[in-house]
Amino acid sequence: MMLASALALASGCDTNLRKNGGENPYQGELSAAPHEFGIASAHPLATEAGMKVLEEGGNAYDAAVTVTAVLAVVE
């Protein structure tokens, strides 16, 4: 049963490629340039705090700790 479900889901995976003549409709669209960074969280203030840490030279771990601390306060 699980195999049948997996095959049914996988069979529809290439429909966008078929509709566009084999071309990937998303090719060339980047959400961010490679030299940029991004933060996502459940609250805008936590996201802003994480971005500020990265902008001031912190690393991803510093930003993650900051975001977690802010989320603990605002949620």
Instruction: Establish if 48 belongs to a structural domain.
Output: yes
pLDDT above 80 for 63: yes
- Please name the residue that has the structure tokens 């996502």: 40
Range of the domain at 71: 44-75
Instruction: Establish if 72 belongs to a structural domain.
Output: yes
**What pLDDT score does 71 carry?**
97
Instruction: Establish if 63 belongs to a structural domain.
Output: yes
Tell me which DSSP letter residue 51 carries.
H
More confident residue, 5 or 37: 37
Instruction: Establish if 54 belongs to a structural domain.
Output: yes
Q: What is the mean pLDDT of residues 38-49?
A: 93
CA distance 43 to 63: 14
CA distance 24 to 56: 37
* Contact between 66 and 41 (Cβ < 8 Å): no
Tell me which DSSP letter residue 32 carries.
S
Instruction: Establish if 38 belongs to a structural domain.
Output: no
In this prediction the pTM is: 0.54
Count: domains in the chain:
1
Task: Tokens for 28, please give them.
Answer: 């060339």
* Contact between 32 and 38 (Cβ < 8 Å): yes
pLDDT above 80 for 75: yes
Instruction: Establish if 69 belongs to a structural domain.
Output: yes
